[in-house]
Amino acid sequence: MVVHSQSAALDHCSLIKTCKPTTSVFKGIPVVDLRDPEAKNLIVKACEEYGFFKLVNHGVPMEFFTRLEAEALKFFNLPQSYKDKAGPPDPFGYGFKKIGSNGDVGWVEYLLLNTNPQITSLNSLTVFRETPEIFRSSAVNDYIQAVKRMTFEVVELLADGLKIEPRDALSRLLRDEKSDSCFRLNHYPPCPELQALGGRNLIGFGEHTDPQIISVLRSNNTSGLQICLRDKTWVSVPPDQTSFFINVGDALQVMTNGRLRSVRHRVLAESMRSRVSMIYFGGPPLSEKIAPLASLMAKGEESLYEEFTWWEYKTSAYKSRLGDYRLGLFEKK
Ligand code: GA4
151 versus 272: the higher-pLDDT residue is 151
Answer whether residue 9 shows pLDDT above 50.
no
Is 325 close to ligand 1, i.e. is its CB under 6 Å away? no
Looking at ligand 1, which atom is closest to the CA of residue 104?
A: 20
pLDDT of residue 106: 96
User: If you measure from the C-alpha of residue 318 to the centroid of ligand 1, how many angstroms do you get, rounded to a whole number?
Assistant: 7
Q: Of 89-93, 181-185, 316-320, which gets the smallest average pLDDT? A: 89-93
**Alpha-carbon distance 273 to 275, whole Å?**
6
Residue 184 Cα to ligand 1 middle (Å)? 10
Q: Strand 265-268 and strand 201-208: pairing? A: antiparallel
Distances (CA, A) of 200 to 15, 86, 97, 122, 195: 15, 32, 19, 41, 8
Average pLDDT, the chain: 90
Q: What average pLDDT does this structure show over 182-191?
A: 94
Told to judge if 172 belongs to the known catalytic residues of this protein, a careful annotator would answer no
pLDDT tier, 193 (very low <50, low <70, confident <90, very high otherwise): confident
Which one has a higher pLDDT value, 93 or 320? 320
Q: What is the pTM of this model?
A: 0.93
Per domain, the residue ranges of the chain are 15-329
Q: List the one residue out of 262, 228, 220, 266 whose CA is nearest residue 106.
A: 266
Q: Ligand 1 center to residue 110 CA distance, Å?
A: 12
Position 12 scores a pLDDT of: 53
What count of other Cβ atoms lies within 10 Å of the Cβ of residue 301?
A: 10
265: Cβ below 6 Å to ligand 1?
no
Instruction: Give yes or no for a contact between 55 and 243, defined as CB atoms under 8 angstroms apart.
Output: yes
Rounded average pLDDT over 110-120: 77
Considering only CA atoms, which residue is closest to atom 12 of ligand 1?
A: 322
The answer to which of 28-42, 71-85, 157-171, 294-308 has the lowest mean pLDDT is: 71-85
CA distances from 209 to 228, 229, 262 (A): 10, 13, 6
Query: What's the pLDDT score for residue 2?
Result: 33
* Nearest ligand 1 atom to alpha carbon 102: 20
Helix (H) or strand (E) run with residue 134 in it:
helix 133-136
C-alpha separations of 265 from 56, 163, 323 in Å: 20, 28, 10
Q: What integer pLDDT is reported at residue 257 of this predicted model?
A: 98
User: pLDDT at residue 121 above 70?
Assistant: no
* Cα–Cα nearest to 106, from 117, 97, 115: 97
Are 270 and 302 spatial neighbours (Cβ–Cβ below 8 Å)?
no
Ligand 1 centroid–CA 186 distance in Å is: 13
Per the DSSP assignment, residues forming a β-bridge with 227 are 235, 265
Residue nearest to atom 3 of ligand 1 (CA): 210
**Residue 17 confidence (pLDDT):** 83
Residues whose CB is less than 8 angstroms from the CB of residue 113 and which lie 6 or more positions away in sequence, other chains included: 92, 120, 123, 140, 182, 183, 184, 185
Active-site residue, selected from the candidate residues 230, 275, 321, 326: 275
Nearest residue to 288 (alpha-carbon basis) of 188, 156, 179: 179
At the top level of CATH, the class of 15-329 is mainly beta
The interface predicted TM-score of the complex, written ipTM, equals: 0.99
Give the residue, by CA position, lying nearest to ligand 1 atom 8. Answer: 100
